[in-house]
Structure 1
Amino acid sequence: MDAHLPPIDPIKDQHPLGDHRRRVARERRERMRERLIAATMDAYRKNAGKRRPVIDDVIRAANVSRGTFYKYFDTLDEVLAEIGRTTASEMLQSFERLFEPLDDGAVMLATGPLMALARAAMDPAHGAIVSHADLVDRINGDDPRRQLAFRSLNYGREQGVFQFDSIEAAFDLVIGTSVEGARRISRTGQLNGACIRETVVMILLGLGMKLPAARIAVAIAWQRLQDASEHLHWWKPVAPA
């Protein structure tokens, strides 16, 4: 009877086990990378306003050895670069979701700072690291956040709602106010929707808008954020006041 049994294919028998082991190993590596990234963000949060974190702070927060860190990253700057890429990608996806049907430059521009400030309050670790000079300095010409801000600024100027000559100066106003606001909010941990909106109104005033129009633009942008909050994994309920 054994002569009639189909031959065993050793390659077929071995592949499922090999594939499983590779998948498990890959998932383990991904989890460790995420753990080190989260530990880096935690280290920046704990050192907000103090010294620059070092690798020892990260491995202590992650509860891993220095050797484990170096298996995944050569320097802390590499971790920051990955955080920057992730942050930029998330913001780009959120912008596309929020603004695909929108043609109002003021509302488009207002949403960037609103997202940055709201997330700093809702996710203090994220706010601490994105407002740190180490990461702010990485917002260069190719960064999607810079490109989105420039697009909104140009669009608003073309529509006549913004008044400025130097787009670099306008960009510095937007980024500088957003970063300083995020830094302050991440330190206090206060989730004050009214203060966040007022900060962005002041940005729009600095770009040449009148107060009533600036408040309307911010109110519309804030409402769009709340309407899309189910797609923002970091969003938490905010009191309307």
Structure 2
Amino acid sequence: MRVNLEARAAAAESRRAQTRARLIKAAMTVIAEKGPEASSIEDFVASAGVSRGTFYNYFPTYEDLLHALNTEISEALDKTLEPVGSEIDDPAVLLATVTHRIFAAYALDPVRGWLALRIESVAIPRQAVFEARFDAVYRSAVASGRFRDCEVAAARNLAFGAFRMGQRDMVLGAVAPDHAVDLVSLILIAFGLTPSESIKISREAFREAKEATRRPD
């Protein structure tokens, strides 16, 4: 009897996880196409093939769903980037590499890339994982003399703002993917590197990011 109960509980948990994943996937597609403000719960449940009551079992509010989507995108991307930090000693190179890797990841998965942009327009708590990663890299670069010493929040806003605008233009097809080379180079110049070193670092990071996307898992 105990084995049967445990098996049933495991099966029920598996079904719940599958339903939640289906809702997440459906919401990603709908919001990427329509935007968060134009999307509705009816859109999500229709796309996922579940009832409205089922939706509320997993996400009591629309904001809960958006927060779950933002968390999933951020955690998946952070997991992809995690090995990069242990491979690079120069914080300037690390920042360029991580930025180009994110651009490349969103280029490979345009639905997630567009969704990340759409979610930025909604007033939900931002994920702290990337802010903490940036702050640590910037402080390390300042301590080693690679970057100018300024308020880290100002540096973060400059880098994140430039990234979002670049990502937006790339998603819309307004610029080519190699637009990121000049964009990242300008960020590094703003942080204190020379133009010649900045463009060299950015070009190499761009090339490495393209190669990384071609490697088998």
Structure 2 match to 1:56: 42
Question: Which residue does the alignment assign to 2:75?
Answer: 89
Q: Equivalents in 1 of 2:116, 2:158: separation in Å?
A: 17
Structure 1: gaps (5+ residues): 1-13, 234-241
Q: Which runs of 4+ in 1 moved over 4 A?
A: 134-137, 226-233
CA-CA distance at 1:101 after TM superposition: 3.5
Give the alignment's TM-score, normalised by structure 1.
0.76
Give the structure 2 partner of residue 196 of structure 1. 180
Question: 1:149·1:171 contact (CA, 8 Å) conserved in 2?
Answer: yes
Tell me the amino acid that sits aligned with residue 43 of structure 1.
V
d(CA) in 2 for partners of 1:227, 1:121 = 13
State which of 12, 21, 26 in structure 2 corresponds to 1:34: 21
1-side partners of 2:81 and 2:208: how far apart? 11
CA distance in 1, matches of 2:148, 2:49: 51
Identity of aligned residues (%): 24
Which has the larger displacement, 206-215 or 84-93?
Answer: 84-93
Distance 1:159 1:122 in 2: 34
Note closer, same or farther for the CA distance 1:94–1:119 as it changes in structure 2 (3 Å cut).
closer
- Structure 2, unaligned runs of 5 or more: none
* 2:7 is the alignment partner of 1:23: no
Closer/same/farther in 2, CA of residues 64 and 20 from structure 1, 3 Å limit: same
Q: CA deviation at 1:92?
A: 3.3
Query: Structure 2 CA distance, aligned partners of 1:181 and 1:75?
Result: 31
RMSD over aligned Cα, in angstroms?
A: 2.8
* Alpha-carbon distance in structure 2 between the residues aligned to 1:43 and 1:114: 27
- Residues 77-156 of structure 1 aligned to structure 2 (within 5 Å): 77-132=63-118, 133-134=120-121, 138-139=125-126, 143-156=128-141
Q: How many residues align?
A: 216
Q: Is the 8 A contact 2:104 2:213 kept in 1?
A: no
Paired with 2:87 and 2:80, the residues of 1 have a C-alpha distance of 13
- Residue 181, structure 1, aligned to residue 166, structure 2: yes
> Equivalents in 2 of 1:232, 1:105: separation in Å?
27
Letter matched to residue 26 of structure 2: A
Q: Is the 8 A contact 1:200 1:218 kept in 2?
A: yes
Q: Contact 1:117–1:182 (CA<8 Å) still a contact in 2?
A: yes
Instruction: Give the alignment's TM-score, normalised by structure 2.
Output: 0.84
Counterpart of 1:131 in 2: which secondary structure? helix
Name the amino acid aligned to 2:7. H
Q: Name the amino acid aligned to 2:183.
A: T
* Largest Rg, 1 or 2: 1
Q: Is the 8 A contact 2:28 2:111 kept in 1?
A: yes
Aligned match for 2:196, one of 195, 208, 212? 212
In structure 1, give the amino acid aligned to 2:34.
N
1:76 equivalenced with 2:52 (yes/no): no
- The one-letter code matched in structure 1 to 2:91 is G
Q: Which has the higher helix share?
A: 2
